[in-house]
Amino acid sequence: MSDRIFGVFGLALALFYLWAASIIKDSFMVDVVGPRAFPYMVGTVLALCSIYFILRPDDEPAWPALKGFAEIICAAAVMLVYAWALPEFGFLISTVFATAYLTWRLGTLPHWALLTGVLTSGGIYIVFHLILGLSLAKGPLGF
């Protein structure tokens, strides 16, 4: 069943891709094949494979329980918030909380998770920013 859903989704993606390829505008430069031919080929392969998934699905994969899904979605959401927070609050503060969340969810007690967050954030800041000179996100406080 999962493969069938995946196939339907893939087919929709392929059709969208083919449509998006068909509206590519020509520029003033032209060559024999043009900018649309290769995307058409790619879209066709996508569509054919998706149809195959619908017709001949594999065995059902081992999906996690609903709780597992929630876990993944929350983790992804935290990472997205982290990406947004980087320029707002700076690297050090954002990283403490993002690391603490992930360590906590992987089974560390909350106060140890927070400590891990502080150590990770500080450690990365020292190694990558102060020693190696990488540019990390700067918040309003300058770090």
Partner 1 sequence: MEIFSLLGDGFAVALTPQNLFLALMGCFLGTLMGALPGLGPANGVAILIPIAFSLGLGPTPSLILLTSVYYGAMYGGRISSILLNIPGDEPAMMTCLDGYPMARAGKAGEALSLSGVASFIGAFCATCGLVLLAPQLVKIALLFGPAEYFVLFTVAFATLGGITSTNQAKSAFAAALGLGIAMIGSDSQTGSQRFTFDHIHLYDGIDFLIAIVGLFALSEVFIFLEHHRSGTGNTVTAPKVGRILPDFKMIKSCMPTIGRGTALGFFAGVLPGAGASLGSFLAYSLEKQSVDRDGKTFGKGDPRGVAAPEAGNNAASGGALVPMLALGVPGSGTTAVLLAVLLQLNITPGPLLFTKNPDVVWGLIAALFIGNFMLLAMNIPLVGLFTRVLMVPTRILMPVVAMISFVGIYSITGSTFDVMLMVGFGVAGWILRKLDVPLVPVILGILLGNQMEVNLRRAMTISDGDWSTLVGSPLAITLWIIAIAGFVLPMFFGRRMKARMDSSRHTDENGG
Query: Contact positions toward partner 1, by CB under 8 A?
Result: 2-3, 6, 10, 17, 20-21, 24-27, 29-35, 37-39, 42-43, 45-46, 49-50, 52-53, 56, 58, 61-64, 67-68, 71-72, 75-76, 79-80, 82-84, 86-87, 91, 95, 98-99, 102-103, 105-108, 116, 120-121, 124, 128, 132-137
Least CB distance to partner 1 at residue 31 (A): 6
Distance CA 10, CA 106 (A): 32
Residue 125: closest CA among 99, 102, 88: 99
Q: How far is CA 96 from the centre of its chain?
A: 21
Task: Name the residue nearer to partner 1 (CB basis): 67 or 141.
Answer: 67
4: left (phi over 0), alpha (psi -120 to 50) or beta: alpha
The structure tokens 């979605």 sit at 73
| Separation of CA 85 from chain center | 16
* Cβ-based nearer residue to partner 1, 12 or 83: 83
Looking at the Cβ atoms of 133 and 140, the one nearer to partner 1 is: 133
CB of 2 to partner 1, least distance (A): 6
71 Cβ neighbours under 8 A, 6+ residues apart: 64, 105
Asked if 102 contacts 114 with a C-beta cutoff of 8 angstroms, the reply is: no
Of 32 and 141, CB closest to partner 1? 32
Judged by beta carbon, residue 130 or residue 132, the one nearer partner 1 is 132
* Minimum gap (Å) between residue 119 Cβ and partner 1: 9
Give min distance, CB of 21 to partner 1, in A.
Answer: 7
Q: Which residue carries 């929709």 as its tokens?
A: 12
